[in-house]
Chain A
Amino acid sequence: MTLDQLAKGVVAHITGFQSKTGADNQDAKVVSKLREIGFAEGDEVELMHTGLLFGTPLSFRLNRTIIALRKREASLITISTVEQAASR
Chain B
Amino acid sequence: MLKLALVGAPNCGKTTLFNGLTGGVAKTANYSGVTVETRSGKFETLAGATVEVVDLPGVYGLDAGSVDERVAVDAILGKLPGETAPDALILVIDAAHLRTHLHTVLQFATLGLPLIVSLNMMDLAERDGMVFDIPKLEAALGVPVIATRATRSAGRKALIEAIDANRHKLESAAVARQEFDLKDLQRQARKIANEVIVHEPAMNQFTRMVDKVVLHPVGGLVILFAILFFMFQAVFSWAVPFMDVIDGGFGSLAEFVSAKLPDGLLQSLIADGMIAGVGSVLVFLPQIVILFCFILLLEASGYMSRAAFLLDAWMMKFGLNGRAFIPLLSSFACAIPGVMAARTIENEKDRITTIMVAPLMTCSARLPVYTLLISAFIPAETVWGGIGLQGLVMFSLYMAGIISAIIISFVLKLTATRGPSQPLIMELPTYKVPQPRDFFLGLWMRVKAFLKRAGTIIFASSVVIWALVTFPLNVEFKDTIAGRVGTFLEPVFAPIGFNAEMVISLIPGMAAREVAVSVLATVYAVQGGEENRDGIAATLAAGWSLPMALSFLAWFVYAPQCFATIATVRRETNSWGWAGFMTAYLFALAYLASMATFWIATAVGL
Contacts and interface: CB of A to CB of B under 8 A. Distances in A.
Contacts of B183: 35, 40-41
Majority DSSP secondary structure for residues of A touching B: mixed
A69 B425 contact: yes
A67 B200 contact: no
A8 B182 CA distance: 29
Given A35-B182, A48-B211, A59-B211, A64 B99 contact: yes
Interface in B407-446: 420, 423-430
Contacts of A37: 60, 100, 425, 427
Given A35-B183, A36-B182, A59-B211, A67 B425 contact: yes
A70 B96 contact: no
A56 B313 CA distance: 6
Nearest to B189: A40
B177 to A, nearest CB: 18
Interface in A30-88: 30, 32-38, 40-43, 48-54, 56-57, 59, 61-70, 72-73, 88
B281 to A, nearest CB: 39
Contact of A38 (B100, B200, B208, B430): B100
A5 interface: no
Contacts of B207: 66
Chain A contact patch, size range: 35 or more
Given A35-B182, A48-B211, A57-B312, A41 B187 contact: yes
A26 interface: yes
A20 to B, nearest CB: 13
B217 A38 contact: no
B194 A73 contact: no
Contacts of B97: 38, 63-65
B61 A70 contact: no
A41 B186 contact: yes
A36 B424 CA distance: 13
Interface string B178-217: 0000110011011000100000101110011001000111
A64 B202 CA distance: 7
Given A35-B182, A48-B215, A64-B100, A57 B63 contact: no
A66 B425 contact: no
B203 A64 contact: yes
B313 A57 contact: yes
A68 B428 contact: yes
Nearest to B130: A64
Given A50-B217, A59-B428, A64-B200, A36 B63 contact: yes
Contact of B310 (A51, A64, A70): A51
A42 B203 CA distance: 17
Contacts of B39: none
Contacts of A52: 217-218, 221, 310, 313
A6 to B, nearest CB: 16
18 contacts: A32-B182, A33-B423, A33-B425, A38-B60, A38-B103, A43-B100, A49-B211, A51-B309, A51-B310, A52-B217, A52-B218, A56-B313, A57-B313, A65-B97, A68-B424, A68-B427, A68-B428, A88-B194
Interface of A: 26, 30, 32-38, 40-43, 48-54, 56-57, 59, 61-70, 72-73, 88
